[in-house]
């Protein structure tokens, strides 16, 4: 029997007095939003935690402390987005977000010779913090998302654009968006997409992930190989009192097969998950990725396709 699908980002649309309160008492209101979201998610949180627990046990890193931390991640994400949408510009600009390493040099190095860049995002923290902190580094960013663009997400995009100075475009992951992504990479542009998960209905290839063959989004890796784009893993990590954005290492696509690029990305993401298991929000999807990986003919799945328009992408 097919397992019931669980959406991590299921949440009420906060309205009424909350946007006003977020401007006046932003951090207090953010804590209230997190608590309210946690309570509202109660009907499905048991399923989410059960699947997360099962995956952590199979990966050999389960503990009560990690489980408690993972249980809070969806409501923390919702609260982060609510603050970014509704707090004052002054509050958003003053958020304690730090870029680790040398991101400007990394991006410049990756874009040498007109190569495109793929920001390989993952479900740590809130990716919008990375865009907010490094808009001047990324410049023009094409963000691939998993479904239709919600009105609230469009408003959030416009706000982050205004504050960060970056140009951000959203595109839905489907068979037509591959052409848009291909053009962006061919022009040496930047594409951001989630690479620690995949859409089950889309094309996939198989690459090791956390110790087992796992389904990975095929299209974005085919484009990385075809255009020689450099993939840069991105992690938004919660630290005591601030958010830390980690970039890297650089994974050049030139001369590599799509499955080879996927294996390198999965290795880096897997390392970070093992370092910070309580900060990864997709434990409940891991067994599904493993199951699809085990049932996929890797030789067939790794073949390149002829038209970028037929490429299934990862999604943010």
**Paired tokens of 168:** 């951000």
Q: What is the pLDDT of residue 109?
A: 67
Phi-psi region of 55 (alpha: psi -120 to 50; beta: other; left: phi over 0): alpha
Q: What is the pLDDT of residue 32?
A: 93
Per-residue pLDDT of the chain (316 residues; tens, 9 = 90+): 334 444 444 444 566 788 899 999 999 999 999 998 888 877 788 899 999 999 999 999 989 999 999 999 999 999 999 999 999 999 999 999 988 866 566 666 666 666 789 999 999 998 889 888 776 677 788 988 877 666 677 788 888 888 888 888 888 877 778 889 999 999 888 999 999 988 777 788 999 999 999 999 999 999 999 999 999 999 999 999 899 999 888 899 989 999 999 999 999 999 999 999 999 999 999 999 999 988 875 444 444 333 333 344 555 5
DSSP β-bridge partners for residue 85? none
H-state helical runs in 123-236: 127-133, 135-138, 151-164, 177-186, 218-227
The pTM assigned to this predicted structure is: 0.85
**Cα Rg of the chain, angstroms:** 19
| Stretch (H or E) spanning 235 | strand 230-239
Contact between 38 and 75 under an 8 Å Cβ cutoff? The reply is yes
Contact between 132 and 97 under an 8 Å Cβ cutoff? The reply is yes
Q: What is the pLDDT of residue 242?
A: 92
CB-based contacts of 115, cutoff 8 Å, min separation 6? 188, 227, 228, 229, 230, 252, 254
Q: How far apart are CA 49 and CA 52, in angstroms?
A: 5
Residue keyed to tokens 């298991």: 277
Q: What is the pLDDT of residue 200?
A: 77
Residue 306 per-residue DSSP state: S
Q: What is the pLDDT of residue 74?
A: 92
Which candidate, 150, 9, 160, places its Cα nearest to that of 83?
A: 160
Q: What is the pLDDT of residue 113?
A: 62
DSSP sequence for 108-150: HHHTGGG--EEEEE-SBS-HHHHHHHSHHHH-EEEEEESSS--
């Amino acid at each position: 029997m097919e397992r019931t699908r669980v959406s991590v980002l299921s949440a009420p649309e906060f309205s009424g007095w909350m946007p006003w309160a977020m401007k006046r008492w932003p951090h207090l209101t953010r804590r209230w939003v997190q608590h309210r979201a946690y309570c509202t998610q109660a009907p499905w949180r048991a399923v989410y935690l059960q699947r997360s627990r099962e995956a952590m046990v199979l990966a050999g890193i389960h503990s009560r402390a990690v489980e408690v931390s993972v249980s809070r991640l969806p409501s923390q994400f919702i609260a982060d987005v609510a603050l970014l949408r509704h707090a004052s510009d002054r509050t958003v600009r003053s958020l304690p977000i730090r870029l680790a390493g040398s991101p400007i040099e990394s991006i410049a190095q990756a874009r040498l010779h007109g190569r495109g860049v793929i920001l390989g995002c993952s479900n740590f923290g809130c990716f919008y913090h990375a865009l907010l902190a490094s808009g001047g580094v990324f410049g023009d960013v094409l963000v691939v998302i998993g479904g239709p663009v919600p009105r609230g997400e469009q408003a959030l995009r416009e706000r982050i654009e205004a504050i960060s100075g970056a140009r951000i475009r959203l595109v839905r992951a489907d068979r037509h968006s591959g052409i848009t992504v291909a053009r962006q990479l061919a022009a040496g542009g930047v594409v951001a997409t989630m690479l620690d998960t995949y859409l089950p209905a889309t094309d996939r290839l198989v690459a090791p992930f956390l110790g087992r063959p796992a389904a990975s989004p095929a299209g974005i890796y085919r484009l990385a190989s075809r255009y020689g784009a450099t993939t840069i893993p991105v992690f938004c990590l919660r630290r005591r009192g601030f958010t830390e954005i980690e970039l890297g290492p650089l994974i050049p696509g030139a001369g590599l097969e799509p499955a080879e690029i996927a294996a390198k990305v999965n290795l880096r993401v897997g390392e970070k998950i093992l370092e910070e298991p309580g900060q990864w929000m997709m434990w409940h999807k891991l067994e599904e990725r493993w199951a699809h990986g085990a049932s996929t003919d890797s030789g067939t799945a790794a073949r390149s396709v002829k038209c970028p328009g037929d490429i299934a992408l990862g999604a943010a």
